[in-house]
């Protein structure tokens, strides 16, 4: 949300300088994405308002009220400044036919003159990256970014009659949005319509059927409404129409805010079109928002924050925000507390825990001294974790390596809702996945430098609908063995794992990506004099192996006969750019054979 510093000063003239305001936002409200200084001296803050406060902070008034409370300065309420137009009786009818519309306010304004907006309107919209369209459309946008309530204007003469219907769409009903996007609707979509056609997608986007026309529009219908957030979000996401209005509705807004927005919109239209005639407001509000209170204790606040606030300090913080409250007193540990009248716009305050967070945020977490909690808690041993550690230590000591295979399979008993194709079920055993992993590692044993492939896995399986079980399975050349973790560790001592067998990683080594191309192995067996070290043959192989030698030569066989020793070394070749062929490896082996003969050694 882009916030103009000059716009904020309409409501909080005593706010701190712009260069200090970023820290106030960052430490007490939200993340500041960017701060931009404009040529006219204004400063624009791009605030990352989180969803839990989107209902009241996606507006300049909302941010200004928050700053007034945070900084302890006066908020200048603009309501008394709005001119109330003289109103005449109306024949307009509003018919709500869906429970997804929680409130709908509308009024007809006749004799408007569509034209350019005043300079102050154009300037304010431009400061937050919005372009001016015409005075009526700009008025709805000013209200949106000023108080946070989406509004809309229809051309009254384009309606079939002076009756507005809010209903669910019919199957395959169509409309064209204001940006010329033709959409096909479903019954899950809510629309604004007359008795003939669809006028708008409720809470998302207006339509061309009742679009305000710069040349011909003289009578308009102002709309200020409140819609169900889930309904608006589903429609906006399904049709990929993501608007500023939809963003606010999907995060929920208080229906109580509609009356203020209608007053502000009417006053703005009156300022731009002073000769216009206003008719009475039609307000349909089936289920008014009930007043709410919540109670919290001072002891609970101090316990959860680690603070030492007095009841007077808490009341001072609440007074700064203009909260209405009464002090409470209880016997016992609860002691003193407060019953708070929750403001209609603060939909995020639902329980005492929310007030703990609110007080901590206002007071400032940096003002709370960090203190280590008193008392020593005795940790409770997790038996299953101890079993896993014992099993892991045992198998690592026996030369096994731990692996993790995929828990989703093509077949099983427990099905996953909306699972990936071919992975719709949870596994019933570890053996199937471990067999596949073992075979892949066995084939790559020369590249990995293993004489024998041994691996194990500890993980959850779902053999029935009753729940999961923890199993262990291990695989080697003899096959795969699987059992429950409890059965495997029945005779093992349960102690925290230290994993002394795990290799230490040297920090100087750097990761080298694996090659996606297959490797080639070659074995070299040589008779050498009895006093010759195997490292001499290894170094010779490395010298002639070129950059295609993928790993260190490995001695895999050695024996002595008479006055000679036989060394057998395995070489692994691999390229990072292509698949190797015999024609590329043969010259390397021929050069190596020549070097062996030059040493006076005999190839076997």
Could you write out the DSSP letters of every residue in 193-241? Answer: E-SSSEEEETTTEEBGGG---TTT--EEEEEEEEE-HHHHHHHHHHHT-
Q: Is the pLDDT of residue 51 over 60?
A: yes
Neighbours of 576 (CB within 10 A): 13
Per-residue pLDDT tens for 130-154? 999 999 999 999 999 999 999 999 9
* Average pLDDT of the chain, as a whole number: 91
The answer to whether 272 and 109 are in contact (CB under 8 A) is no
Instruction: Please name which of 139, 152, 141 lies closest in space to residue 59, comparing C-alpha atoms.
Output: 141
Question: What's the Cα-to-Cα distance from 179 to each of 87, 125, 160, 169, 188, rounded to whole Å?
Answer: 33, 19, 22, 20, 22
Q: Which carries the bigger pLDDT value, residue 421 or residue 375?
A: 421
Q: Inform me whether the pLDDT recorded for 509 exceeds 70.
A: no
Instruction: Name the DSSP letter for residue 108.
Output: E
Contact (CB, 8 A) for 107 and 278: yes
pLDDT at 230: 96
Taking a C-beta distance cutoff of 8 angstroms, is the pair 76, 12 a contact? yes
Written as six digits, the tokens of 401 are 């390596």
> What is the per-residue pLDDT across 268-298, written as a single tens digit (0 to 9) for each?
999 999 999 999 999 999 999 999 999 999 9
The answer to whether 57 and 253 have CB atoms below 8 angstroms apart is no
Mean pLDDT confidence for 57-77: 94
Domains of the chain, with CATH numbers?
Answer: 2-77 (3.30.56.10), 87-284 (3.50.40.10), 292-365 (3.30.56.10), 383-488 (3.30.930.10), 520-603 (3.30.70.380)
CA distances from 187 to 32, 174, 349 (A): 40, 12, 33
Tell me: pLDDT of 100 over 90: yes
Q: For 236-265, what is the mean pLDDT? A: 95
Task: Identify the sign of the CA torsion 581, 584, 585, 589.
Answer: positive
User: What are the tens digits of pLDDT across the range 408-419?
Assistant: 999 999 998 888
Sign of CA dihedral 156, 160, 163, 165: negative
User: What average pLDDT does range 203-208 have in this prediction?
Assistant: 95
* pLDDT of 496: 57
Q: Examine the pLDDT at 505 and tell me if it is beyond 50.
A: no
Buried b (16+ CB within 10 A) or exposed e, 319-343: eebebebeebeeeeeeeebbebebb
* CA 190/CA 98 separation, integer angstroms: 8
pLDDT of residue 421: 86
What average pLDDT does this structure show over 346-368?
92
pLDDT (average), residues 485-507: 66
CA gap 349, 61 in Å, rounded: 19
CA 82 to chain centre: 40
* Band (563; pLDDT cuts 50, 70, 90): confident
> What's the whole-number mean pLDDT along residues 359-376?
85
Please check the confidence at residue 108 and state whether its pLDDT lies above 60.
yes
User: Is pLDDT of 562 > 90?
Assistant: no
Q: Which long-range contacts (CB under 8 A, 24 or more apart) does 90-95 make?
A: 90/162, 90/279, 90/280, 90/282, 91/162, 92/162, 92/163, 92/164, 92/221, 92/279, 92/282, 93/162, 93/163, 93/164, 93/282, 94/163, 94/164, 94/166, 94/282, 94/284, 95/163, 95/164, 95/165, 95/166
Q: Is the pLDDT score of 500 beyond 60?
A: no
**Residue 406: pLDDT band with limits 50, 70, 90:** very high
């Amino acid at each position: 949300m882009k916030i103009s510093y000059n716009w904020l000063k309409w409501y909080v003239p005593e706010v701190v300088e712009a260069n200090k305001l970023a820290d106030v936002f960052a430490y007490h409200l939200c993340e500041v994405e960017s701060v931009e200084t404009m040529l006219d001296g204004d400063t624009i803050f791009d605030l990352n308002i989180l969803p839990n406060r989107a209902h009241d902070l996606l507006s300049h008034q909302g941010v200004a009220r928050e700053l007034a409370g945070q900084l302890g300065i006066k908020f200048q309420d603009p309501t008394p400044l709005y001119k109330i137009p003289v109103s005449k009786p109306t024949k307009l009818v509003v018919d709500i036919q869906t429970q997804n519309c929680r409130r709908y306010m509308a009024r007809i304004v006749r004799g408007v003159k569509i034209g350019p907006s005043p300079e102050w309107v154009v300037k304010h919209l431009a400061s937050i990256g919005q372009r001016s369209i015409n005075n009526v459309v700009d008025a709805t946008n000013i209200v949106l970014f000023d108080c946070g309530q989406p509004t809309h204007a229809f051309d009254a003469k384009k309606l079939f009659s002076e009756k507005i219907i809010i209903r669910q769409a019919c199957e395959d009903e169509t409309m064209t949005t204001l940006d010329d996007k033709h959409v096909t609707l479903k019954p899950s979509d809510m629309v604004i319509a007359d008795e003939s056609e669809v006028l708008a997608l409720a809470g998302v986007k207006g339509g061309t059927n009742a679009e305000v026309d710069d040349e011909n529009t003289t009578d308009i219908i102002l709309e200020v409404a409140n819609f169900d957030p889930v309904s608006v979000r589903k429609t906006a996401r399904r049709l990929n129409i993501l608007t500023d209005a939809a963003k606010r509705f999907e995060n929920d807004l208080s229906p109580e805010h509609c009356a203020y927005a209608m007053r502000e919109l009417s006053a703005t239209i009156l300022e731009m079109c002073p000769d216009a005639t206003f008719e009475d407001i039609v307000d349909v509000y089936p289920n008014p928002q009930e007043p709410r209170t919540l109670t919290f204790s001072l002891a609970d606040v101090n316990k959860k924050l680690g603070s030492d606030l007095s009841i007077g300090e808490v009341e001072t913080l609440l007074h700064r925000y203009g909260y209405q409250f009464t002090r409470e007193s209880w016997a016992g540990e609860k002691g003193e507390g407060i019953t708070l009248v929750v403001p209609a716009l603060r939909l995020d305050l639902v329980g005492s825990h929310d007030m703990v967070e609110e007080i901590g945020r206002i007071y400032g977490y940096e003002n709370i001294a960090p203190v280590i909690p008193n008392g020593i808690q005795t940790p409770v041993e997790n038996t299953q974790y101890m079993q896993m550690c014992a099993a892991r230590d045992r198998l690592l000591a026996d030369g096994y390596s731990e692996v993790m295979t995929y828990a989703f399979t093509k077949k099983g008993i427990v099905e996953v809702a909306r699972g990936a194709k071919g992975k719709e079920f949870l596994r019933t055993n570890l053996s199937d996945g471990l067999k596949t992993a073992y075979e892949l590692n066995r084939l790559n044993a020369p590249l990995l430098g293993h004489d024998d492939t041994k691996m194990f896995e500890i993980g959850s399986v779902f053999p029935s609908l009753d729940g999961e079980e923890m199993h262990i399975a291990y695989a080697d050349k003899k096959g795969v063995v699987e059992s429950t973790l409890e059965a495997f560790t029945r005779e093992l001592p349960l102690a925290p794992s230290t994993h002394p067998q795990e290799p230490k990683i040297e920090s100087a080594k750097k990761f080298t990506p694996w090659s996606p191309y297959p490797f080639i192995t070659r074995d070299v067996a040589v008779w050498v004099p009895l006093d010759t070290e195997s490292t001499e043959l290894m170094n010779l192989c490395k010298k002639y192996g070129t950059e295609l030698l993928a790993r260190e030569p490995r001695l895999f066989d050695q024996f002595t006969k008479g006055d000679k020793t036989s060394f057998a070394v395995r070489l692994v070749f691999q390229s990072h750019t292509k698949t190797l062929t015999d024609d590329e490896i043969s010259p390397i082996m021929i050069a190596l054979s020549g070097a062996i003969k030059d040493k006076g050694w005999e190839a076997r």
